[in-house]
Amino acid sequence: MVSESGNERGIHTIDTGMRGDRSLTGAFIVRGLQTALVETGPKATVDNVLSGLEEAGVESIDWIVVTHIHLDHAGAAGTLAGRWPEARVAVHELGAPHLTDPTKLWASARRIYGDAMEELWGGIDPVPPDRIEVLSDGQVIDLGGRTLQAVETPGHARHHHALLDDSTGALFAGDALGVRLPDVGINRPATPPPEFDLEQAIGSIKRIRDLDAESLWPTHFGRTDRGTNPATPPEACDEAIESLSRWDEWVRAGLKRSREPEAVTRFVVERSREALESSLGPREVDRLELTTSYSMNVSGYLRAIAKAESGK
């Protein structure tokens, strides 16, 4: 469905309905003389995206643009490219090979999600190589009357771009700012293995803050701007940095108690729930877990810390 909240000039939010829940993952329609779909959601929810496009009156798309190749952001790119054979698929240069041949991407995700892969993600269709537009930092997609500029934002993953719309000052942040669900209103990091890097993640958030965007559009979920939400873009950036730093402190404190990942995760769960449950209900606490799990986040920190300790 198309969300009425968070729309502005030529931008519409589609709720992908990921995991059967609302306002977890968005895809964004950006209209100039050409039409772009920013993010696709997973293949498992592609019918919801198609319904959202139809509801918004979009009969065809010219560009499929993904901030990075994780399955909740780009899993339906190949499927949608098959439906609109003239559309170009724009992706970070490091992510492009994994959209044309998603074998390694799928296998990597399977190590995390196991038997739940098909239910969660629904498979992944490859994108033909001649349909790919490789993006590098600063490169612009011209939609006619407005552009989307790629902004290198590693940390969550090496192959991550934010996308800045010059017409409105909207910045599609992907996972660079973590998760901020509208009904929860609290930032949660997104720090998956194997590529999470805390220093790069904080540097990317500072770069986003320095862009002075009018509004930020995290994929999970929706718009934060100067006028409609309690958190202005600079405040949202500061909150994201504080959240990353807090989790780093929790993980390191857990490691002082035990080197076992399961024990560290339990410690972080305790600290996080203590912080959250003072202001949120059980439903809101559980919804955060649907976007990025404790075990995955902690695994990302542990891998990054181990890599730093080994000097590799």
292 pLDDT more than 50: yes
Q: What per-residue confidence (pLDDT) applies to 6? A: 46
Collapsing DSSP states into helix, strand and coil, what is residue 69? coil
E strand spans, 66-225: 88-92, 132-135, 140-142, 147-152, 161-165, 170-174, 215-218, 224-225
DSSP symbols for 268-287: HHHHHHHHHHTTS-HHHHHH
Alpha carbon of 122 to those of 4, 60, 221, 272: distances in Å? 27, 23, 21, 31
Domain ranges of the chain: 2-245
> pLDDT per residue over 170-214, tens digit each?
999 999 999 998 878 889 999 999 999 999 999 999 999 999 999
What confidence tens digit (pLDDT) does each residue in 222-238 have? Answer: 887 655 555 789 999 99
- Domain 2-245 is in which class? alpha beta
